[in-house]
Structure 1
Amino acid sequence: MARLDDYTYVFVIGTFFAMLDAFNNGANDVANAWATSVSSRSISYRQAMVFGTIFEMLGAITVGARTADTIKNGIIPNAAFKGDAGVQMLAFTCALAGASIWVMWCTRHSAHVSSTYSLISSVAGVGVATVGAGKVQWGWNKGKGLGAIFAGLGMAPAIAAGFGATIFMLIKVVVHLRKNPVPWAVYTSPFFFLIAGTICTLSIVYKGSPKLGLNKKPPYYVASVTMGVGVGLCILSALFFVPYVVARVIRRDPSVKWWMFIMGPALLTRAPPPAGVDGPVVPDYAVVQHDTEDDDVSTRTPDSIGDDIKTVDPTTLPESREKHEKSLTTREQLTYAQIQAQGELKMKERLLKKRGPLGWAMRHLRDNPFGAGEMYEKHNIIILFKRIPAYITCGALYGLHYDIHAAQSGVEGTPEGARMQRVYAHAKKYPNEVEHTYSFVQVLTACTASFAHGANDIGNSVGPWAVIYGAWSTGSAAKAKAPVPLWQLAVLSLVISLGLITYGYNIMKVMGNKITYHSPSRGCSMEMGAAITVLLFSQFSLPVSTSMCITGATVGVGLCNGTLKAVNWQRVGLLVISWIATIPIAGTIGGVLMGLFLNAPHFAV
């Protein structure tokens, strides 16, 4: 059949909302996936953006879905469209619009919701408007109906909490509770690489390889591949990672560079460093609310390895106490909004001093303010055109320079800051040398999760877009399965990465440390617990949100501190409310849009 030129406008609008949905996916779901690693300081914010972009695009382009369900998990029967390509295009355009509008609003207000649940709920609303509530699959429908969605909403976070807590308690018993935990952390690391490698391989097999078809292989084949990868990673870590960490962390040899891990066991035969020579600096993984010029300061010395860690509060020092008390006295006279504005202004002042495009853009906006009168005055119009390049530069680069850790730990002197201080006070702080070992494991789990996410969850955006494109280009309604061109996967994976880089900070700043205290050993436990839960649900064909799983695992690990006070239940409650609200709100928006467009008065020319 011929192309539906009369519906080109629908195709254009659908394309716009497909890209907006992908942008929101990156800014919301992908940002939440990397928030744990950034919160734990296992990886810097900018490094997370780089690795997230690389592995998201690799997963989407190399092993991403090549077919898309036109009925999106079986919620709307395919017969509902009655072979009408125009109605099918309109239906999925409205579904994308409903999900995009809701997720964009939530992201702007730092309220994390699942883009997967948003789109499915919006499709259900479109189905009600198209064929009536009686034809929508409200029940289980082999794990693809709305009943399964509600089940996953309740079960997944709780199960992820159990898995995350179990893994962290294993680390706690094997390493943290030892009198001298540093050697235990180093020499048992291959075992945890084995666990992480096996889980990550299973994630790729069952969650991120529809093109390769690995999940269709016999069980013995899958078991041998996953265990083989895990054991191989364990052996490699024992040969190369352990000697490197021993030389760098335990012996504190200043001559050991990062690339020397390739020397393997030869690092163990190197002569010890001379007495009195400072060794490599281990990053400080503690979360603080005070400004600091150097985040890479170790809280331990070579002589203190094996002893209990001793922390020093800078406000107890005489010269710091007076300055700190004066600061708090001044803050008490300000409103909460004013204190937050002060924090934002302080960060912007630092950005103004930076070199490069962002610093130029910030200074350009500062030095070119609007003049007197309305915007339509000639001089203001000229100024507006001068400011446009700076606006674009700030929009593209501001997120990369956002101070995530300062935003996560709360603003000092505010109710939120006090609440987070109480939460952190109930979490045991472990030696930086121990946490440093697990930072490598956490980066591995985060990269694999991003790869699997790009391979699997890109279908949320590309599926409806492929249906819209197929119906428009062929002139006939798409069948139960619609082919997905490679160029569509490439375009939307790029848009997902763009959303992560430019807008993901809105979600990152409220996740992670805003729920409980983070560290690399806790963070890798959370990510592995979430990955196991996703794998478990995928075996029963149940829809589940990765973001909900990582949130549940975060709470479970937080409770391992031995008290309910180690978790910020206010933030958890707000997250649960946003999850529950997603289903009716996204469904209503999609359904209302479909009802309006489908039943709008029209006339023939």
Structure 2
Amino acid sequence: MLDQYTYIFVIGTFFALLDAYNNGANDVANAWATSVSSRSISYRQAMIFGTVFEMLGAITVGARTADTIKNGIIPNSAFQGNAGVQMLAFTCALAAASSWVMWCTRHSAHVSSTYSLISAVAGVGVATVGASKVQWGWNDGKGLGAIFAGLGMAPAIAAGFAASIFMLIKMVVHIRKNPVPWAVWTSPFFFLIAGTICTLSIVYKGSPSLGLNKKPAWYIAAVTLGTGGGVAVLAALFFVPFVHAKVVKKDYTVKWWMFLQGPLLFKRQAPDDAGAVNVIPNYAVVQEEDAEQSSTSSESIGEYDAKKTDADSTGIPIKTTSQDNEKNVSAVEAAQPTYRELMGQGDDKLRAKLLKKRGPLGWAMRTLRDNPMGAGQLYEVHNMKILAKRIPATVVCGLLYGLHYDIHAAQTGIAGTPEGERMQRVYDHAKKYPNEVEHTYSFVQILTACTASFAHGANDIGNSVGPWAVIYSAWHTGSAAASKAPVPVWQLAVLSATISLGLITYGYNIMKVMGNKITYHSPSRGCSMEMGAAITVLVFSQYSLPVSTSMCITGATVGVGLCNGTIKAVNFQRVGLLLLAWIATIPIAGTLGGVLMGLVLNAPHFR
């Protein structure tokens, strides 16, 4: 028969997995939303690269030890050597944080899983040892005071760094009369910047187990600049000739693997009809016309009624009273679809396309459509047979629906709705640059996105694995874990896989409201945002201040959007909702954790 410690371990494991799943669906999805929004990479490719680099970062150089006090908020003496109380505390913290983040993800509200867990730990600390024992001050950058400081400073600093990088790109490339050659020949310089920043990200944020940040300053500078310089040299040897052949010579016969030919591509003769076939992707953000029924209804009911002559069936004009006019106006308003109905129409169009697919998703959706639950109770024989068909189809839909979701259409807003019109006004205030120029920076953005994902997997895996490692250590040894608890590799592998699962299956719910929902995206803008966010994380890491990567990328997005020269190029309504969600996370997650801990700890069974 299982004892109470085993029960707590099983429950804690469940919520640790749920927290990791939410981390992938929320934080990691937000990190990749910039690349997907810029169209530098497709949604499916982002899922593949995100999964690979998240797991590589977590397993190879992920945290091998976990702080039992979680950033110094709860003193380790609070547990008084009681393994049960320690396990219960972190189980309640995981339950509170994962529940809040799951609710926010379900409603497409982006919050930081890091801040959620830290706030929940603080609430648990209040319930366990009292408010006086919780570290409310700075505490060497680990207390709640530092958390509040990071919440306010990080987005603003990231906005400044990202705006500076994008303005550099504008000055060097975008404002030129012929920007395409400038984009090609200066690309090694931006690869140098990106390579150096990415290497610093791995050194200071992504390699706690390697101890690279403990090396002398000259050693770190030599390694990072050497790596960045090496990337720049490789770009000059292989990338520049390849892109030159594609965007300058417009050689449509060049294949991706020909970059290995390097400088030999400069001598490659372009075909006589070079330029006849466009091989450069279109990076423009285009709204989908998903409101055909709305426009048709508006024209047939509204405009036609306004133009036609009031007449009876004989063609003789008739008089109308004010009451008749009011009835006509009410009828027109009733006939026009509401915003919710227009959003439903967009989802219905997506489902209609998916129903026609031949793959497993199409089969699953057709199975669910053709096998609705029958009358009577669930245990009726006919319902049991239907349920046997619906369960596997539901699982398949849950696993594959996100991979086929139209992220770009969801981000731009449905045409004909107030939101779609608002986003169109935002896009109209953003300068559009040639696709040939943007194509050059799409490669830089992929580099920065993959490195950010690697660093996230190496560092932020501790948000979920830290409490779980403590719970496991206390359950395995039977005593309260020390200030540092060892983290087995298998725990890193399990949670990194769970993070990737959250990104693949539910990440679309956050991606659809990020990126282009805030401002106009393009590869040159996107790589500036990601590099600005990475620099901000590095700066905060040097001062041991907790910071959310998601908040940094959001602030960087706003900063680049303001580089268009007007605040109208940023959707501040969406920014305001994000700020509200961030601020609400601290009291809500903390209250949930504290209340849950207080209820369970003081239940008769645990006295």
TM class by smaller structure: over 0.9
What are the equivalent positions in structure 2 for 1:238-317 lying under 5 Å apart?
238-275=236-273, 278-290=276-288
Question: C-alpha deviations, 1:445-498, integer Å up to 9, x for none?
Answer: 000000000000000000000000000000110000000000000000000000
* Separation in 2, partners of 1:464, 1:241: 44
* Separation in 1, partners of 2:492, 2:520: 37
Match of 2:525 among 519, 522, 525: 522
Say whether 1:449 aligns with 2:452: yes
Equivalent pair of 1:189/1:437 in contact (CA under 8 Å): yes
Equivalent pair of 1:5/1:472 in contact (CA under 8 Å): no
* Separation in 1, partners of 2:75, 2:470: 15
* Structure 2 match to 1:229: 227
TM-score by length of 2: 0.92
Match of 2:175 among 159, 174, 177: 177
What are the equivalent positions in structure 2 for 1:55-454 lying under 5 Å apart?
55-275=53-273, 278-290=276-288, 326=296, 329=299, 333-454=336-457
Which of 272-281 and 485-494 deviates more? 272-281
* Separation in 2, partners of 1:377, 1:458: 45
Question: C-alpha deviations, 1:346-380, integer Å up to 9, x for none?
Answer: 00000011121101101111111222344443322
Say whether 1:466 aligns with 2:463: no
* Separation in 1, partners of 2:2, 2:597: 19
* Separation in 2, partners of 1:374, 1:269: 75
Q: Gaps (5+ residues) in structure 2?
A: 302-334
Which letter maps to 1:454?
G
Which of 8-17 and 381-390 deviates more? 381-390
Q: Gaps (5+ residues) in structure 1?
A: 293-314, 316-321
Distance 1:446 1:139, change over 3 A: same
Question: C-alpha deviations, 1:93-145, integer Å up to 9, x for none?
Answer: 00000100000000000000000000000000000000000000000000000
Which of 151-160 and 595-604 deviates more? 595-604
* Separation in 2, partners of 1:419, 1:277: 36
Match of 2:30 among 29, 32, 40: 32
* Separation in 1, partners of 2:488, 2:31: 27
What are the equivalent positions in structure 2 for 1:540-559 lying under 5 Å apart?
540-559=543-562
Q: CA deviation at 1:270?
A: 1.0
Equivalent pair of 1:4/1:474 in contact (CA under 8 Å): no
Query: RMSD of the TM alignment (CA)?
Result: 1.8
* Separation in 1, partners of 2:297, 2:178: 39
Match of 1:575 among 573, 578, 595: 578
Question: C-alpha deviations, 1:415-446, integer Å up to 9, x for none?
Answer: 11011000000001100000000000000000
Equivalent pair of 2:350/2:406 in contact (CA under 8 Å): yes
Say whether 1:479 aligns with 2:449: no
* Separation in 1, partners of 2:122, 2:525: 38
* Separation in 2, partners of 1:519, 1:417: 19
* Separation in 1, partners of 2:552, 2:606: 50
Distance 1:373 1:151, change over 3 A: same
* Structure 2 match to 1:308: none
Q: CA deviation at 1:381?
A: 2.5
Q: CA deviation at 1:277?
A: 6.1
Q: CA deviation at 1:598?
A: 0.6
* Structure 1 match to 2:310: none
Distance 1:272 1:209, change over 3 A: same
Q: CA deviation at 1:290?
A: 2.5
* Structure 2 match to 1:500: 503
Which letter maps to 1:601?
P
Question: C-alpha deviations, 1:132-165, integer Å up to 9, x for none?
Answer: 0000000000000000000000000000000000
* Separation in 2, partners of 1:458, 1:540: 21
Which letter maps to 1:185?
A
Which letter maps to 2:585?
T
Q: CA deviation at 1:386?
A: 1.3
Equivalent pair of 1:4/1:473 in contact (CA under 8 Å): no
Give the SS at the match of 2:203.
helix
Question: C-alpha deviations, 1:536-590, integer Å up to 9, x for none?
Answer: 0000000000000000000000000000000000000000000000000000011
* Separation in 2, partners of 1:74, 1:450: 26
Distance 1:78 1:433, change over 3 A: same
* Structure 2 match to 1:309: none
Which letter maps to 1:396?
L
Equivalent pair of 1:249/1:280 in contact (CA under 8 Å): no
Say whether 1:536 aligns with 2:509: no
Give the SS at the match of 2:388.
helix
Equivalent pair of 2:600/2:606 in contact (CA under 8 Å): no
Which letter maps to 1:148?
A
* Structure 2 match to 1:488: 491
Question: C-alpha deviations, 1:328-363, integer Å up to 9, x for none?
Answer: 647981011111110000000000111211011011
Equivalent pair of 2:250/2:275 in contact (CA under 8 Å): no
Q: CA deviation at 1:272?
A: 2.5
Distance 1:289 1:280, change over 3 A: closer
* Separation in 2, partners of 1:517, 1:504: 21
Residue identity (%):
80
Which letter maps to 1:326?
T
Q: CA deviation at 1:276?
A: 6.2
* Separation in 2, partners of 1:228, 1:74: 36
TM-score by length of 1: 0.93
Give the SS at the match of 2:81.
coil
Equivalent pair of 2:185/2:240 in contact (CA under 8 Å): yes
Distance 1:102 1:276, change over 3 A: closer
Equivalent pair of 2:519/2:557 in contact (CA under 8 Å): yes
* Separation in 2, partners of 1:323, 1:11: 54
Equivalent pair of 2:250/2:274 in contact (CA under 8 Å): no
Question: C-alpha deviations, 1:7-51, integer Å up to 9, x for none?
Answer: 100000000000000000000000000000000000000000000
Question: C-alpha deviations, 1:142-191, integer Å up to 9, x for none?
Answer: 00000000000000000000000000000011110000000001110000
Equivalent pair of 1:164/1:556 in contact (CA under 8 Å): yes
* Separation in 2, partners of 1:400, 1:258: 25
Question: C-alpha deviations, 1:478-534, integer Å up to 9, x for none?
Answer: 000000000000000000000000000010000000000000000000000000000
* Separation in 2, partners of 1:348, 1:330: 27
Equivalent pair of 2:295/2:416 in contact (CA under 8 Å): no
* Separation in 2, partners of 1:444, 1:175: 20
* Structure 2 match to 1:42: 40
* Structure 1 match to 2:313: none
Which letter maps to 1:106?
C
Which of 526-535 and 323-332 deviates more? 323-332
